[in-house]
Amino acid sequence: MAAPDTPRPAPAGLSRVLLWVHNLAFWFFLVPFFTSMSYETGFAIYAAILFVRFLANTWTDIKDFTWEQYYAFPLRIP
Written in H, E and C, the secondary structure of 21-66 is HHHHHHHHHHHHHHCCCCHHHHHHHHHHHHHHHHHHHHHHHHHCCC
24 in any annotated domain:
no
71 in any annotated domain:
yes
Tell me the per-residue pLDDT of 1-52, one tens digit each, with 9 for 90 and over.
555 677 777 777 888 888 888 888 888 888 888 889 888 888 899 899 989 8
60 in any annotated domain:
yes
Predicted local distance difference test score (pLDDT) of residue 4: 65
Tell me the per-residue pLDDT of 18-27, one tens digit each, with 9 for 90 and over.
888 888 888 8
pLDDT at 76 over 70: yes
pLDDT at 75 over 80: yes
Total number of domains constituting the chain: 1
As a whole number, mean pLDDT of residues 43-62 equals: 89
78 and 23 in contact (C-beta within 8 Å)? yes
10 in any annotated domain:
no
pLDDT at 65 over 80: yes
